[in-house]
Amino acid sequence: MKPVAEPAAALLSVDGLTLEFKGVRALHGVGFSVRPSELFSIIGPNGAGKTSLLNCVSGRYQPTKGTIDFDGQRISGRSPAIRAHLGVARTFQNLALFAHMSVIDNIKVGRHHLMKKGFLAGGLYWLGGARQEELEHHAAVEEVIDFMEIQHIRNRPAGTLAYGLRKRVELARAVAARPRLLLLDEPMAGMNLEEKEDMARYVHDLSREWGMTIIMIEHDMGVVMDMSDRVMVLNFGEKIAEGLPAEVSARPQVRAAYLGDEMQGAAP
């Protein structure tokens, strides 16, 4: 009999996470873990605390209580820059591109923290290894541009692009950092059906082919249920369910809190 493989150790572990703003509690005692190469989705109604949770993981917010461990290291209280160096990258609900910069330059920004050659090496461009490093980073950016199918807009200013393309460029910038953990905050929000299908394909391929560990917030339940390995549900800052997509969607408290009539016709 073939031995059963032991489950992989968690890449991210969150325990007892609480976040308060001037007495208003955005998160209360939230705990979960994400395994390497897993696509883990977070759902819940507006105001449930989903983005606040990603902000705590990325370091934009510091939790009031609780701990966050990444690959065995305690990252609670550490800066977003340190977390980026450890391999955490994210996208935002509201686009955060540099509108005046070209698409390729926006994507290169995603690799800035990976540059190892300092000012002196840059001055000795041919001797200090800076040229070789630049070529390597350029090749990595080109790979992402090909993957995201944005060759035709590579030199256009990001601010001139249609919304769906700008969302694709923002994902490309995050992917260019080659993160070990990619945080996606509503990557398909505001898109038409064709754009959603394209974005879902990119996210799926990043998870299955590139092996990236992904935490995704998404309101499209069809996308969440089709793509996710596991799902967690937040409501009023508290975790009310976690598990396989089919199991979570069947729970009465989840239907009542978020899915409602949308899922009433779904198979239990």
What are the pLDDT digits (tens) for 141-183? 999 999 999 999 999 999 999 999 999 999 999 999 899 999 9
Distance CA(148)–CA(205), nearest Å, equals 10
Q: Is the pTM of this model over 0.75?
A: yes
When pLDDT is averaged across residues 26-42 and rounded to a whole number, the result is 97
SS3 63: coil
Are 129 and 117 a contacting pair, CB within 8 Å? yes
Angle among Cα 172, 174, 180 to the nearest 5 degrees reads: 125
Q: Delimit the domains of the chain by residue range.
A: 9-87+181-268, 103-178
The secondary structure of residue 10, as a DSSP letter, is P
Residue with tokens 């031995």: 3
8 A C-beta contact, residue 56 and residue 42: no
The stretch 217-241 carries a mean pLDDT of 93
- CATH class of the domain at 9-87+181-268: alpha beta
Euclidean distance between CA atoms 178 and 213, whole angstroms: 11
In the three-class reduction of DSSP (H, G, I as helix; E, B as strand; rest coil), residue 230 is classed as: strand
Q: pLDDT value at position 113?
A: 62
